[in-house]
Amino acid sequence: MNEYKSAASYTNKRPSVVTIGTFDGVHIGHKAILQKLVATAQKDNLDSVLLTFFPHPRMVLQKDANIKLINTLSEKKELLQQIGLDHLIIHPFTQSFSRLTAVEYVRDILVNKLNAKKIIIGYDHRFGRNRNADITDLKEFGKTYGFEVEEITAQELDDVAVSSTKIRKALNVGDIETANSYLGYPFMVSGTVVKGKAIGRTIDFPTANLQLEETHKLIPKDGVYVVQAAIQNKIIYGITSVGTNPTVGGKDKTIETYFLDFNEDLYDQPLKIEFITHIRDEETFNSVEALKVAIQKDEHFARTYLATRE
């Protein structure tokens, strides 16, 4: 898969089939659409192109600072990599881009830059300045500029929308199993291991504190989870605390993991944790000693869970 930082840097001239969208989560519903894109490309001897935008249009247009996404950009790239697309364009969504008229966007980008011969798009897709144009307009443009429009039906799109919303809702209540079943892979959080308050090791539970790579990443509900990570190519299981650590007077949200049967320095290393199941909600204990007892129980829960699952 070739990657491009903007439509302008896409120099490929081959005729293409294009789909456009955010594809947050790259979940099982998205995969069905993307596989259709790849299959169409093969059938019609076209290059497959996914045109996606970053930052998310809502962040730019509605200044929606609170929008939370299932994937960071680098996670999305990694997931898309596995699908077999020919080209991924991550076009910067700016105010000036949003002001392109429908005809400018179709002619200058889809036709002249991407050489689109086919566009696979949702029945309710809108585009151009003020989202003025719809799929009927796109089909009209197709007659002028020589491309076909293949519509993703309401039913197909409903499946996708429903699963994105369901994934977000599930993560917000700590229902990892539901999120993972819609995603088709374990929900992940990645970042770099940074120093914390160094209290962990004093209660025999050192925790690798994750500093996230993006502020818009959706984080599951505060609580304690069973997780796994690949560390030096080995799967290591762990228990992760997501929350503000009220017992030790914490304020900021942290994501920290105690790895089972593991004793190595992880500072400054990249780390990706994959969520397996929720153990319990975050609690405020009367003492650090009581917290330690609770974490021992969490560890016991995790070991039993991992030993008995299929």
Ligand X SMILES: Nc1ncnc2c1ncn2[C@@H]1O[C@H](COP(=O)(O)OP(=O)(O)O)[C@@H](O)[C@H]1O
CA distance linking residue 237 with residue 259, whole number of Å: 6
Among 24, 159, 175, 256, binds ligand FMN (CB under 6 A): 256
Residue 188, strand partner residues: 274
Would you say 264 or 283 has its CB closer to ligand X?
264
| Measured CA distances, 119 to 50, 81, 236 (Å) | 10, 21, 43
Among 43, 95, 198, 309, binds ligand X (CB under 6 A): 198
Q: Strand pairing of 223-231 and 208-212? A: unpaired
* Per-residue mark of binding to ligand FMN, 283-302 (x: CB under 6 A): xx------x---x--x----
Among 2, 267, 296, 297, binds ligand X (CB under 6 A): 267
Residue 246 interacts, among ligand X, ligand FMN, none and using kind-specific CB cut-offs from 5 to 8 Å, with ligand FMN
Least separation, in Å, of the C-beta of 283 and ligand FMN?
4
Least separation, in Å, of the C-beta of 215 and ligand FMN?
20
Among 209, 228, 237, 242, binds ligand FMN (CB under 6 A): 209
Query: Residue 258, interface with ligand X (CB under 6 A)?
Result: yes
Helix (H, G, I), strand (E, B) or coil at 301: helix
Would you say 97 or 262 has its CB closer to ligand X?
262
Residue 231, strand partner residues: 234
Residue 247 interacts, among ligand FMN, ligand X, none and using kind-specific CB cut-offs from 5 to 8 Å, with ligand FMN
CA distance linking residue 271 with residue 187, whole number of Å: 14
| Measured CA distances, 177 to 139, 173, 181, 226, 288 (Å) | 41, 11, 6, 11, 31
Closest among 75, 90, 81, 82 to 217, alpha carbons compared? 75
Would you say 16 or 257 has its CB closer to ligand X?
257
Round the CA-based radius of gyration of the chain to a whole number and report it. Answer: 23
Residues of this chain that bind ligand FMN (CB under 6 A): 196-200, 205, 207, 209, 224, 239, 241, 245-248, 256, 258, 282-284, 291, 295, 298
